[in-house]
């Protein structure tokens, strides 16, 4: 473990933690920070740790877990009166169907206009700000540009590109990357008490998203969903067009899950592409090695790459609110027709 891990209780993200910590120590805090990056990599964790660092009564760095002081414990449990959490209501797993309403933003703006209650500043942590509709984001602009008093606003987003540029330009940006697989693996082993083998698999499958890996530890449905989604793909690969269209019809019933399914499919084809190209890179879907190898024998790297981009195109179209049934049917025509050795049904 590096010094940062022990000091802030954050796994990885050394650069972000070091930057924020430096801002605190040199008293050069910015009024707004924007943490961006893939879902479930720990943006919120960093934001909350930063809030603890700002407020912890002991020193400028927060108490080590689990011996929290009262302030740290309140912040960590999102119950501190000077830390305002705003997140989309009804947060889904990957794709956030929840929305940040304009009323919630206005309420936050009002709260921030009052002097802090227990400490010398207020902190607002707004998660997944891309879930705010344009009017709600606009309601935040004035406060974001010039927050009252010592207020610090921390915004996290999964999708930097979908934030209005007016929001982005008002914040100090901290882009965050997925964690290294080895970091996730070690953290799962040491901090969450998972077995070494399980940790290794989860670290790969999660693609550096520690949050996801930790959730899969306790929630079996994540693993089950993933298996179902992958076997769905394996089933349709050798299937006829008619069967594929029937499958498309069923698949599009749940638009929310659809997006996650496509993510998984893209990662599967990515693995196939790597194997087909004889690249010596680690696989993401490490538990499906045999199927991947078999498929890679029938496809060129280029063919797999086309499949990846077909899936990505479908995702883009879905994001733009295209008719999901049509999008998936088109995708079904593009996905290569190959045999899979192992019948998972």
Partner 1 sequence: MKVSCLHENLARGLGLVGRAVAARSTLPVLGNVLLATEDSRLRLSATNLELGISCWIGAKVHSEGSTTVPAKTFIDLVGTLPKDQVDLELTERTQTLQVSCAQFKNDIKCIDSEEFPILPSAGDGQSLDLNVRDLRSMIGQVVFAAATDDARPVLTGVEVKIDESEVSFAAADGFRLALCNSALSSTNDQAISAIVPARGLAELSRIIGDRDDPVTLTLPVGRGQAIFRAKDIELVSQLVEGNFPDYQQLIPESYSTRSVLGTDEFLNACRAAQVFAREAAYAARLKIIPGDESDPGSVEVSANAAETGSNESVVDATVEGDAVEIGFNVRYLTDVLQVIDTPNVALETNGDSSPGVIRPVGRDDFVSVIMPMHIGR
Residue 281 interacts with partner 1 (CB under 8 A): yes or no: no
Least distance in angstroms from the C-beta of 102 to partner 1 = 12
Q: Are residues 74 and 104 in contact, defined by beta-carbon separation less than 8 angstroms?
A: no
Rounded distance, CA 166 to CA 129, Å? 13
For residue 74, state whether it binds partner 1 (rule: CB under 8 A): yes
Among 58, 110, 134, 319, binds partner 1 (CB under 8 A): 110
Q: Which is nearer to partner 1, 6 or 57 (CB)?
A: 57
Which listed range, 117-125, 197-205, 236-244, 322-330, lies at the site for partner 1 (CB under 8 A)? 117-125
CB 112 → partner 1: shortest distance, Å? 8
Identify which range of 60-68, 115-123, 176-184, 267-275 contacts partner 1 by CB under 8 A. 115-123
Beta bridge partners of 33: 154, 172
By CB under 8 A, name the one of 64, 92, 135, 149 that touches partner 1. Answer: 149
Q: Considering only residues 2, 113, 182, 300, which one is a binding residue for partner 1 as defined by CB under 8 A?
A: 113
Q: Considering only CA atoms, give the Rg of the chain.
A: 22
DSSP lists the bridge partners of residue 155 as: 34, 126
Q: Which of 85, 210, 266, 304 binds partner 1 (CB under 8 A)?
A: 85
Figure out which of the listed residues 3, 6, 64, 118 binds partner 1, where binding follows CB under 8 A: 118
H or E element that contains 32: strand 32-36
Our finding on whether 167 is near partner 1 (CB under 8 A) is no
17 is an interface residue for partner 1 by CB under 8 A: no
User: b/e per residue, 135-165, with b = 16+ CB within 10 A?
Assistant: ebbebbeebbeebeeebbbbbbbbbbeebbe
3-state class (DSSP) for residue 15: helix
Q: Is 303 exposed, middle or buried (0-12, 13-18, 19+ CB in 10 A)?
A: middle
Concatenated DSSP letters of 58-81 = SSSSPPPTTS--HHHHHHHTT--T
Phi-psi region of 180 (alpha: psi -120 to 50; beta: other; left: phi over 0): beta
Q: How many residues bind partner 1 (CB under 8 A)?
A: 22
- Binding residue (CB under 8 A) for partner 1 from 2, 64, 92, 114: 114
> Rounded to an integer, what distance in angstroms lies between the CA atom of residue 11 and that of residue 106?
34
Which listed residue (24, 94, 98, 106) binds partner 1 by CB under 8 A?
106
8 A C-beta contact, residue 315 and residue 263: yes
Q: Minimal distance in Å, beta carbon 290 to partner 1?
A: 48
Phi and psi, residue 173, nearest 5°: -90, 135
- Considering only the stretches 34-42, 58-66, 103-111, 280-288, report the one whose residues sit in contact with partner 1 under the rule CB under 8 A: 103-111
Residues that bind partner 1 (CB under 8 A): 70, 74, 78-79, 81, 84-85, 106, 109-118, 120, 148-149, 151
């Amino acid at each position: 473990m590096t010094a940062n891990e022990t000091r802030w209780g954050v796994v990885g993200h050394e650069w972000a933690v070091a930057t924020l910590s430096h801002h605190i120590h040199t008293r050069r805090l910015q009024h707004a920070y924007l943490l961006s990056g893939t879902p479930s990599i720990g943006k919120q964790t960093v934001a909350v740790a930063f809030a603890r660092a700002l407020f912890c009564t002991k020193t400028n760095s927060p108490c080590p877990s689990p011996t929290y002081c009262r302030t740290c414990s309140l912040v960590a449990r999102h119950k501190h009166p000077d830390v305002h959490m705003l997140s989309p209501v009804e947060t889904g797993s990957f794709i956030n169907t929840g929305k940040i309403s304009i009323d919630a933003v206005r309420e936050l703006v009002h709260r921030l206009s009052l002097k802090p209650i227990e400490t010398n500043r207020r902190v607002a942590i707004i998660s997944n700000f891309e879930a705010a509709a344009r009017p709600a984001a606009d309601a935040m602009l004035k406060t974001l540009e010039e927050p009252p008093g010592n207020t610090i606003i921390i915004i996290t987003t999964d999708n930097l590109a979908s934030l209005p540029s007016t929001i982005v330009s008002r914040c100090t940006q901290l882009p965050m990357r997925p964690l290294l697989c080895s970091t996730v693996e070690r953290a799962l082993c040491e901090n969450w008490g998972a077995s070494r083998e399980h940790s290794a698999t989860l670290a790969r499958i999660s693609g550096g998203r520690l949050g996801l890996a930790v959730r899969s530890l306790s929630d079996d449905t994540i693993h089950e969903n993933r298996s179902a989604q992958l076997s769905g793909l394996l089933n349709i690969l050798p299937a006829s067009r008619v069967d594929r269209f029937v499958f498309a019809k069923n698949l599009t019933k749940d638009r929310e899950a659809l997006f996650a399914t496509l993510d998984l499919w893209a990662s599967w084809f990515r693995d196939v592409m790597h194997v087909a190209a004889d690249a010596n890179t680690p696989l993401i879907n490490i538990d499906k090695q045999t199927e991947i190898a078999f498929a890679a024998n029938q496809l060129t790297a280029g063919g797999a790459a086309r499949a990846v981009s077909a899936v990505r195109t479908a995702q883009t179209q879905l994001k733009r609110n295209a008719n999901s049934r049509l999008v998936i049917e088109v995708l079904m025509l593009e996905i290569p027709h190959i045999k899979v050795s192992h019948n998972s049904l």
